Amino acid sequence: MNKRAFITAHKAQYGVSTLCRLVRLSRSWFYGHHASQAARDDRRERRSARDKALLERISHFFKASKHRYGSKRIHRDLRADGERVSERR
């Protein structure tokens, strides 16, 4: 049983502060971890969708250059086309 499940199972009988102290977790982690998981998943999904769209644009510029352009030129083309992205990304 993980620490979160343990605290959740016993919080009706004991205080959350006491249980967190027992398993050596901060009370703010117990209350915030679950809520922040949805935010992390949302950011991951948005980044994944953005990466997919960006990859399509990169592929377009790479094919237009007859497979000759490297990262610096493709980055320059993306910036010229109005895309705000770093070269490393």
Q: Residue 52: which domain range?
A: 3-81
Q: Determine, yes or no, domain membership for 51.
A: yes
Q: Determine, yes or no, domain membership for 87.
A: no
Q: Determine, yes or no, domain membership for 88.
A: no
Residue with tokens 């809520």: 35
Distance set, CA 23 to CA 10, 13, 14, 41, 73 (Å): 12, 16, 13, 26, 53
Q: Determine, yes or no, domain membership for 47.
A: yes
pTM of the predicted model as reported, rounded to 2 decimal places: 0.60
CB 55 within 8 A of CB 47: no
Q: Determine, yes or no, domain membership for 64.
A: yes
Looking at the structure of the chain, the number of domains it has is 1
Tens digit of each residue's pLDDT (9 = 90 or more) over 2-52: 888 999 899 999 999 999 999 999 998 888 876 677 888 899 999 999 999
Tens digit of each residue's pLDDT (9 = 90 or more) over 57-76: 999 999 999 999 999 999 99
Q: Determine, yes or no, domain membership for 60.
A: yes
Q: Determine, yes or no, domain membership for 27.
A: yes
Contacts of 48 (CB under 8 A, 6+ apart): none
